[in-house]
Chain A
Amino acid sequence: HPAPALGLCLSGCRGLSQLAELPETHQLLRQTCRDYADKELIPVAAKLDKEHAYPAKQIKELGSIGVMAIEVPEDLGGAGMDYLAYCLALEEISRGCASTGVIVSVNNSLYVGPVLKFGTEEQKKRWISPFTTGEKVGCFALSEPGNGSDAGAASTMAHQDGDHWVLNGTKAWITNSWDASAVIVFATTDKKLKHKGISAFLVPMPHSGLSLGKKEDKLGIRASSTANIILEDCRIPLDNMLGSRGAGFKIAMQTLDSGRLGIASQALGIAQASLDCAADYALKRTAFGAPIGKLQAIQFKLADMAVALESARLLTWKAALLRDSKKPFTKEAAMAKLSASEAATFCSHQAIQILGGMGYVTDMPAERHYRDARITEIYEGTSEIQRLVIAGQILKEYQL
């Protein structure tokens, strides 16, 4: 896909104008996703959350719109668009329903993404094409009960037995686990090599030797399933290794770099939904003889929310543009995820404050945004890890 040829690079003022005004295709895409979210997600989001119900119908519809595999080339069943398009789509979808957003994000960034980047042609056909329509979704199993941020300490093991790999161990906090048809599992193939001894494996679901732990009862994003994946002598063909032996950690880190922007976009959607809710309420609710939107205390909150949101959005778009131009984007992606997730928690917190008592009850969506926002500061790299990544990049720059 000729993304660089579209001029989406920052070394000229054309790149900057992307930040000021999106290209027409991207505007159309954003409008489509916004229309879909308004008509099909917002009306059901509260119910999906209350019932912890996987939005199967919506995921299929999103699949036919083309958002389940945005970057995948058309010949594999994807939409063949760039990462900026993905971020725009994800923000609008998450604005409608944050759970649906994370399901779309995990499928795009954490499952399809690494297979597209590191898979063989055969693996791409087998493990990507069926996952572009919304009929099937994938998931990504890196974290374990014993290590989250400490990803190099993977204790899940893989040993070769004849023409099979045999996987043993437990993975934790796996999004989409109860609804997925495939998982990328990271396991240690050479313990002595430490993090350079981790490899990636494609495992179909269901599969003998793979079982699921109980569905976690979460604070937010409840329509997406989160559970342990338990591997007990799980046998997979040798062909199921993704990338080369020992490349697992590198694959995971590069995948998370991109996934970061997906979560940033999800957080932006939650922040925008909170701002929409708060501003609408401020115009309608009267106190002391006038709409509360006339009061400076409320106005200051709205302004702070808008600034936090817009700055995080521009950081996200910049990181996406860099990635699309195949330029380094690790620092910018970490900055985007950090600022967007903190904007989501800030905006949803302030939205409840502006709504007062109404913000605390399920009649209004503010409480759901508050609960949904919280996880964005934790998964796919905690805010603390993001700060380490950013600092590491900055210090590298100054050392040159």
Chain B
Amino acid sequence: MSGRVLVGVKRVIDYAVKIRVKPDHTGVVTDGVKHSMNPFCEIAVEEAVKLKEKKLIKEVVAVSCGPQQSQETIRTALAMGADRGIHVEVSGKDYDSLGPLQVSKILAALAKKEEAQLIILGKQAIDDDCNQTGQMTAALLDWPQGTFASEVSLEAEKIKVVREIDGGLETIKINTPAVLTADLRLNTPRYATLPNIMKAKKKKIANVKPADLGVDLTSRLEVLRVDEPPQREAGVKVETVEDLVAKLKDTGKI
């Protein structure tokens, strides 16, 4: 299998930042807050670049949907070894309501336009934890999917995927073209080396609007309110198992 791989890279609030809810409870504070590439997207980029280094695929195209700053995320992917980037411009209210449904429509449209043979995404983003985009994209394209991948190998015209599931590991073989989503143990993303950062400057990032792809960004979801998780309350110590059972019955837990 040779050809083009699309890798989705999402710009999210950095994992180390302490998240604060906006005073109006419509979302979290993002202004002036450090953002970086979603860690699972880093793993996806790494896997794509590794496939290219093994000469199993020809071109890695990094895609990001978002405002102007998403270009930084694409640039990081280029510095890791992606060949070119596509920035799908979504900003303002459209960006606030952007979710897996719209992104998967965009990715499906791009996959057709770019004649991609493989889409690799992170299994989920660390901001919304949706774990939906990969699955929806595969469904829209009617392509097979290998999600929660901890091992990927290309065999002739098929892909062998070892998936991390609740019961352990599941190995499947799927046809190409396909959608894969990367789980934590798939690989260890490389650092963007200085020579690659310099090379990335010359790589192209194309600008595309969702309308150009025929995608309607209207959201089917409305966020009513965002709150912090409830403060953890102190526990209660009991002396005996009987006391424990009584307390659990008392508070209606059993």
Contacts from A to B (Cβ < 8 Å): 24-25, 27-29, 31-32, 35-36, 64-67, 70, 74, 79-81, 85, 89
Most chain-A Cβ atoms within 10 A of its Cβ — which of B72, B75, B198? B198
The answer on a CB contact under 8 Å between A81 and B198 is yes
The answer on a CB contact under 8 Å between A28 and B192 is yes
Kindly identify which residue among A25, A64, A74 contacts B197, using a CB–CB cutoff of 8 Å: A25
The answer on a CB contact under 8 Å between B191 and A70 is no
Most chain-B Cβ atoms within 10 A of its Cβ — which of A27, A31, A80? A31
Tell me if B179 is interfacial: C-beta within 8 Å of chain A: no
The answer on a CB contact under 8 Å between A28 and B75 is yes
Which B204-230 residues sit within 8 Å CB-CB of chain A?
none
Tell me if B195 is interfacial: C-beta within 8 Å of chain A: yes
The answer on a CB contact under 8 Å between A66 and B72 is no
- Note all chain B residues with C-beta closer than 8 A to A24: 72, 75, 201
Known contacts A25-B198, A28-B200: does B191 contact A65 (CB below 8 Å)?
A: yes
The answer on a CB contact under 8 Å between B194 and A35 is no
The answer on a CB contact under 8 Å between B72 and A29 is no
Digitize B69-84: 1 where CB-to-A-CB distance is under 8 Å, 0 elsewhere.
0001001100100000
Additional A-B contact list (13), CB under 8 Å, known A32-B194, A32-B197, A74-B195? A24-B75, A25-B197, A25-B198, A25-B200, A28-B76, A28-B192, A28-B197, A29-B197, A36-B191, A65-B191, A70-B194, A74-B198, A79-B193
- With CB as the reference atom, state the residue of chain B lying closest to A70: B194
A-B contact pairs, 17 of them (CB 8 A): A25-B200, A25-B201, A27-B72, A28-B192, A28-B197, A28-B200, A29-B194, A31-B36, A32-B191, A32-B192, A32-B193, A65-B193, A66-B194, A66-B195, A74-B195, A80-B198, A89-B194
> In the complex, A358→B133 CA distance in Å?
48
> Nearest-CB distance from A64 to chain B (Å)?
7
- Note all chain A residues with C-beta closer than 8 A to B201: 24-25
The answer on a CB contact under 8 Å between A65 and B194 is yes
Kindly identify which residue among A27, A28, A36, A79 contacts B195, using a CB–CB cutoff of 8 Å: A79
> Nearest-CB distance from B62 to chain A (Å)?
14
> Nearest-CB distance from B235 to chain A (Å)?
22
Q: Count of chain B residues with Cβ under 8 Å from any Cβ of A?
A: 14
The answer on a CB contact under 8 Å between B75 and A67 is no
- With CB as the reference atom, state the residue of chain A lying closest to B34: A31
> Nearest-CB distance from A6 to chain B (Å)?
10
- Note all chain A residues with C-beta closer than 8 A to B192: 28-29, 31-32
A-B interface, 6 closest residue pairs, ranked by CB to CB distance from nearest: A66-B194, A79-B194, A66-B193, A28-B197, A32-B192, A65-B193
> Nearest-CB distance from B122 to chain A (Å)?
17
- With CB as the reference atom, state the residue of chain B lying closest to A77: B195
- Note all chain B residues with C-beta closer than 8 A to A29: 192, 194, 197
> In the complex, A29→B191 CA distance in Å?
10
> In the complex, A31→B198 CA distance in Å?
14
- Note all chain A residues with C-beta closer than 8 A to B36: 31
Digitize B130-168: 1 where CB-to-A-CB distance is under 8 Å, 0 elsewhere.
000000000000000000000000000000000000000
The answer on a CB contact under 8 Å between B198 and A79 is yes
The answer on a CB contact under 8 Å between B193 and A64 is yes
> In the complex, A89→B198 CA distance in Å?
14
Most chain-B Cβ atoms within 10 A of its Cβ — which of A64, A66, A67, A89? A66
> Nearest-CB distance from A352 to chain B (Å)?
25
> In the complex, A29→B76 CA distance in Å?
10
Most chain-B Cβ atoms within 10 A of its Cβ — which of A24, A74, A81, A85? A24
> Nearest-CB distance from B68 to chain A (Å)?
12
> In the complex, A66→B194 CA distance in Å?
5
> In the complex, A132→B236 CA distance in Å?
61
> In the complex, A24→B76 CA distance in Å?
10
> Nearest-CB distance from A119 to chain B (Å)?
22
> In the complex, A66→B196 CA distance in Å?
9
- Note all chain B residues with C-beta closer than 8 A to A67: 194
Most chain-A Cβ atoms within 10 A of its Cβ — which of B76, B192, B197? B197
Known contacts A28-B75, A28-B79: does B194 contact A85 (CB below 8 Å)?
A: yes
> Nearest-CB distance from A348 to chain B (Å)?
23
> Nearest-CB distance from A121 to chain B (Å)?
21
- With CB as the reference atom, state the residue of chain A lying closest to B37: A31
Most chain-B Cβ atoms within 10 A of its Cβ — which of A32, A35, A36, A74? A32
Most chain-B Cβ atoms within 10 A of its Cβ — which of A28, A31, A74, A85? A28
- Note all chain B residues with C-beta closer than 8 A to A66: 193-195
- Note all chain B residues with C-beta closer than 8 A to A85: 194
- Note all chain B residues with C-beta closer than 8 A to A27: 72
- Note all chain A residues with C-beta closer than 8 A to B195: 66, 74, 79-80
> In the complex, A314→B106 CA distance in Å?
43
> Nearest-CB distance from A257 to chain B (Å)?
23
- Note all chain B residues with C-beta closer than 8 A to A70: 194
> In the complex, A20→B79 CA distance in Å?
23
